[in-house]
Chain A
């Protein structure tokens, strides 16, 4: 019985794959034909001589800084608003606020960054501000939920001890709850920041600033040499962030 079910599942997956190719109707014969392959080869070849002139490198450096700034500020804003929303979402102020803030967090999280970016470009105009806001909005949803879970799992005794000694709730939170929570919050923020740098470098495709916008513009102008330098810069940025976050995690966030 079990075997039969598994066999049916495997057959179903196979059928789904065949159906997908049939539905899309991609002509792989045409795609793999000598003519289109040589066209693609010629297209690739234009990327092989990246533009390394000083002026362009300076522009890229500025774009990379812009991307970094967008991601850092977006994550920071998200951490602040996420913590503000996480307090009610962890049930600190009663259940009506809890379900309301959970709804807000879920809605913020469910909409992808790209959609937020398109919306923010409509609201705030082209440029990095739209990207920062889009990252902040989506990340608030993600971090808020993670923070709320961390808050629920943190031991309540230190804060209770401060309350029993006559400290007010704010002090109890700052000196009883937060110190325990901080390493975890920091780990979540670093993890999201890492994600957001990747995201910030592509949000520009819808006009939200940073390296992505440079790439989009130079591809639209058929400046493949410039575009390939931007792609190299993106790769460098991602590698640098990976190395930095690995190092900082080892240094500051003890498991």
Chain B
């Protein structure tokens, strides 16, 4: 006769796995000095409570609004100028790094010869290096090299984003149908002409939408970079936080949300129009 079995056959292994995970995580808990109780502890709660209760009403003095407007414009300008500089480096680098414009690939069924791959590696390596160091580290370095202010932010965005854009552009060039460009190159056209007439028409929409998306990311990044002194909204948020000016922090965070939302809408519009 069949009997009902209440036992979960997978319970044992699951229990063992959980125990193993806890044993592995235990040193991690020690290392990260994890202590959730600080969020509820009375003294920090009252400290935080006072700070957070100052959030309402958000600061809205005329002078402060002027400052806020300037910081917001600066953030936008940092992102836009950084992207423009990044494009200056990313476009030539992507053309150099992409396999799509390899002459030897055109006559070998898409696989470039060994030395053609080797010659592309320095450019690829440079792009990897540029994007692997986080932008905020670049910002920190540039703040020390060129001083506090927006110049550091612009250069940091230009460097990191040229690495990302260059890599992604090169991959986008390789992702579309290679035959038009190969046909052009084998018929004797130059590489740039083959790119302009064989590849660009197919990839233009994707390039644009990715670039606009990165611009949106650059706005968020330029706010965060302000925390190490690279100008814009982030620097003001950092200053106000250090002065425990809750109202100012609240209105600047609000401005940040509105900015991100507007950038989102604008990039949607641009992508829809241009793509």
Contacts and interface: CB of A to CB of B under 8 A. Distances in A.
B95 to A, nearest CB: 21
Contacts of A69: 27-29, 31-32
Interface of A: 5-6, 9, 16-17, 19-21, 23-24, 26, 31, 36, 39-40, 43, 65-66, 68-70, 72-73, 76, 110-112, 114-115, 118-119, 122-125, 127-129, 131-133, 198, 201-202, 205-206, 209, 215-216, 219, 231, 234-235, 238-239
B137 A231 contact: yes
B133 A235 contact: yes
Interface stretch (B43-51, B114-122, B170-178, B194-202): B43-51
8 contacts: A9-B270, A9-B274, A24-B151, A26-B154, A43-B144, A118-B227, A124-B44, A129-B34
Contacts of A123: 38-39, 44, 47-48
Contact of B80 (A20, A36, A132): A20
B81 interface: yes
Interface stretch (B71-79, B105-113, B182-190): B71-79
Contact of B136 (A26, A205, A209, A239): A205
Contacts of B140: 205, 215-216, 219
B181 interface: no
B134 A115 contact: no
B25 A72 contact: yes
Contacts, number: 137
Interface residues of B, number: 53
B159 interface: no
A118 B245 CA distance: 13
A151 B153 CA distance: 40
Nearest to B273: A9
B29 A234 contact: no
Contacts of A9: 270, 273-274
A128 B31 CA distance: 8
B257 A110 contact: yes
Given A73-B32, A76-B25, 15 more contacts: A17-B84, A21-B77, A24-B150, A70-B31, A73-B25, A110-B260, A114-B234, A123-B44, A124-B35, A128-B31, A128-B33, A198-B134, A206-B238, A219-B141, A234-B134
B238 A122 contact: no
Given A24-B151, A43-B144, A73-B34, A68 B81 contact: no
Nearest to A174: B8
Given A24-B77, A114-B234, A238 B132 contact: yes
